[in-house]
């Protein structure tokens, strides 16, 4: 019989809550025994205990770690202002972690979290759930086989809803950066522009108390170009407009003989055109991926937990690792650093504190 891991969940009702149902994914995973939950909001804690079916409920997550000694901890909240503190404390207990994205406010925070995990020899998975999606596994294989010829370019747009610009880039753009790395390799450089109201930002435009504990963000019109190790160019943009439906969220792959359109989500939609961009392309749904998992958000999260537990047992780096998640912050901050310096910047960035505040 496969080992079951004793797990605990940390949530923060009203300040990131429980992310995209990371708590329920932990409760329902067949290889996990959920033993406790912590939430400093009394009403939120009561509801979480009922929802998760656990009697061990704590208002202080540190007390929970000390008394329950879990082997796995789900750091579930969307807000990132507490991630570093929690990761370092959990790592000291020897537990591995499943954590909501984005990883942190700055690259320096991400570096310290990774160092803490390395010192304690624990693993951490960050919930860029498309990293573990079998649909994208299949698409990656088919692209490598030449489905659209030689891959030339990656084009990504954020969700561009009411959060368009800096918030969109950090909350939803990190998913896209992770997908871009999947096909292009690691980014070598970034060149970006950040504007607000039609003009380039100044220091006065930096919001240091961004929503969802994001830290510092800026701009309602962001664009960036990247060069990748696989000799592919990538482009990202998020711009405020009258269209806030979010239908463009995803990554387009441009090849020499065709194109693929990945529309992001826990179950990504894949569209294909066998024509070049200059030939009035006609898009059709890629049928060969329709029967591949996951079918739902809980199942997508289960795949992330599988990655973590397998990595623990096999003593390997998870696929959706903290290092992979740090690259997403690296790309976002590369755009900010380029705007600040007025030129192309090399990645990884040598300065690890927030480039908007440099």
pTM: 0.95
**277 pLDDT tier (thresholds 50, 70, 90):** low
| 270 φ, ψ (degrees, to nearest 5) | -120, 125
d(CA 260, CA 147) in angstroms, rounded, equals 9
C-alpha to C-alpha distance for 214 and 81, rounded to whole angstroms: 7
DSSP structure class, residue 144: H
The region of weakest confidence among 75-79, 232-236, 296-300 is 296-300
Helix 107-120 / helix 83-93 crossing angle, nearest 10 deg: 10
pLDDT value of position 274: 81
Q: Taking all residues of the chain, what is their mean pLDDT, rounded to a whole number?
A: 95
Q: What is the pLDDT of residue 267?
A: 87
What are the pLDDT digits (tens) for 208-217?
999 999 999 9
In the predicted model, what is the mean pLDDT of residues 48-66? 97
In terms of Cα–Cα distance, which of 217, 121, 130 is closest to 171?
Answer: 217
> Is it the case that residue 279 has pLDDT exceeding 90?
no
Locate the domains of the chain by residue range: 5-130+298-319, 134-293+327-357
Among 29-38, 73-82, 83-92, 277-286, the minimum mean pLDDT is found in 277-286
**Which residues are bridge partners to 270 per DSSP?**
262
**How buried is 142 (Cβ within 10 angstroms: 0-12 exposed, 13-18 middle, 19+ buried)?**
middle
pLDDT confidence band for 278 (50 / 70 / 90):
low
Per cent of the chain over pLDDT 90 is 91
Using one digit for the tens of pLDDT, what is the confidence trace for 284-334?
A: 999 999 888 777 788 889 999 999 999 999 999 999 999 999 999 999 999
Phi/psi for 186 (5° steps) reads -70, 140
Query: pLDDT by residue (tens digit) across 9-36?
Result: 999 999 999 999 999 999 999 999 999 9
CATH number for the domain formed by residue range(s) 134-293+327-357: 3.30.360.10
CATH class of 5-130+298-319: alpha beta
Averaged pLDDT for residues 185-199: 97
């Amino acid at each position: 019989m496969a080992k079951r891991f004793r797990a605990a969940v940390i949530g923060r009702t009203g300040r990131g809550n429980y992310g995209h149902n990371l708590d329920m994914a932990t409760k329902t995973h067949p290889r996990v025994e959920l033993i406790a939950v912590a939430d400093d909001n009394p009403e939120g804690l009561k509801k979480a205990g009922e929802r998760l079916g656990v009697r061990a409920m704590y208002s202080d997550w540190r007390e929970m770690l000390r008394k329950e000694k879990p082997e796995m901890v789900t750091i579930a909240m969307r807000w990132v202002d507490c991630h570093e503190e929690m990761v370092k404390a959990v790592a000291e207990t020897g537990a591995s972690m499943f954590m909501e994205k984005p990883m942190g406010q700055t690259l320096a925070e991400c570096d310290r979290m990774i160092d803490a995990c390395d010192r304690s020899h624990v693993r951490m998975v960050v919930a860029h759930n498309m990293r573990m999606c079998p649909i994208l596994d299949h698409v990656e294989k088919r692209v490598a086989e030449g489905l659209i010829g030689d891959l030339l370019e990656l084009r990504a747009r954020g969700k561009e809803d009411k959060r368009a610009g800096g918030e969109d880039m950090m909350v939803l753009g990190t998913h896209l950066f992770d997908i871009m790395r999947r096909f292009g390799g690691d980014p070598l450089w970034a060149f970006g522009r950040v504007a607000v109201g039609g003009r380039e930002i100044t220091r006065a435009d930096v919001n240091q108390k961004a929503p969802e504990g994001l830290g510092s963000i800026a701009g309602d019109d962001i664009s960036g170009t990247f060069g990748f190790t696989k000799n592919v160019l990538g482009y990202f943009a998020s711009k405020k407009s009258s269209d806030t439906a979010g239908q463009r969220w995803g990554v387009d792959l441009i090849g020499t003989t065709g194109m693929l359109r990945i529309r992001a989500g826990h179950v990504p939609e894949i569209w294909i055109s066998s024509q070049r961009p200059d030939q009035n392309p006609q898009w059709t749904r890629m049928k060969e991926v329709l029967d591949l998992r996951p079918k739902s958000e809980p199942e997508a999260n289960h795949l992330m937990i599988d990655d973590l537990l397998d990595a623990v047992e096999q003593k390997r780096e998870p696929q959706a690792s903290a290092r992979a998640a740090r690259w997403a912050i690296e790309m976002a901050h590369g755009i900010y650093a380029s705007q600040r310096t007025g030129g192309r910047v090399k990645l990884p960035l040598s300065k690890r504190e927030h480039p908007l505040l440099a």
